[in-house]
Amino acid sequence: MRILIADDHSMVRETLSAYLENAGDADVALASSLPEALDVGRREGPFDLVLLDYNMPGMSGLDGLKRVIDAKISNGVAILSGQAPQKVAQDAIELGAIGFLPKTMTAQSLVNAARFMAAGEVFYPVSHMTEQAAENPIAQQLSQREAQVLDGLCRGLANKEIARELNLQEVTIKLHVRTLCKKLDAKNRTHAAVIAKEAGLF
């Protein structure tokens, strides 16, 4: 997959690039501002995914997101942020972003999310679930850990991958999946993911 990372902090750019390239299937280009991202995109695109830092020069809030989407330099555009509030994440998705990535994500979570979005899916982390979802009767039944495991199921991850993301044993994930199926009255893990998506949780 071809990914363009645009962030004004060199350490963030290089760290994210290293994560993705070390996973073995990413060709990464870098930019340090919105104008540079647009230039690189027009010159070297189209990309499978563009990751845009919410606070870098030229962004002007979510105006920069719209400019990159309109430029058609990528199949999908996602926002990267260390501190953006939930409302920003929601607004970004509504404007057409394919995802929202907190900079606090682990390396493996970032790689998995990038693959997910490069495949055309929308990624929205459990920590930024909408207030409507948080008030959902189904969501109220779940612990934070169960919600994280369910998020993994909705992204099509195997138990081993979810365990790696959450730094847990695979057997613990199996137990959470079993509990989720009971709470959601689901026949299996796939059915649990379908129920969650239909309920608007993810």
Contact call for residues 125 and 102 (beta carbons, < 8 A): yes
Task: Look at residue 202 in the predicted model and tell me its pLDDT.
Answer: 62
Please tell me the predicted confidence (pLDDT) of residue 131: 47
What are 55-68's pLDDT values in tens digits?
888 988 889 999 99
CA–CA separation, 112 and 114 (whole Å): 5
The mean predicted confidence, pLDDT, of the chain is: 85
Q: Does pLDDT of 18 surpass 50?
A: yes
- Where do the domains of the chain lie, and which CATH numbers do they carry? 2-127 (3.40.50.2300), 131-198 (1.10.10.10)
Report the C-alpha gap between 202 and 188 in whole angstroms. Answer: 18
pLDDT band at 84 (very low <50, low <70, confident <90, very high): low
pLDDT score of 36: 95
Which range scores top for mean pLDDT: 9-13, 82-86, 109-113, 187-191? 187-191
Write out pLDDT tens, residues 127-175.
555 444 555 677 777 887 888 899 889 888 999 999 988 889 999 999 9
Q: Tens digits of per-residue pLDDT, 170-197?
A: 999 999 999 999 989 999 999 998 888 7
Closest listed residue to residue 195, CA positions, set 145, 144, 143, 137 = 137
Output the pLDDT for position 173.
Answer: 94
Q: Which of 82, 157, 79 is nearest to 124 (CA)?
A: 79
Question: How far is CA 163 from its chain centroid?
Answer: 17
pLDDT score of 198 more than 90 = no
pLDDT at 68: 93
The yes-or-no verdict on residue 79 having pLDDT over 70 is: yes
pTM of structure: 0.63
Query: What's the pLDDT at 130?
Result: 47
The CA-atom distances, in angstroms, between 89 and each of 51, 130, 131, 169 are: 14, 9, 12, 31
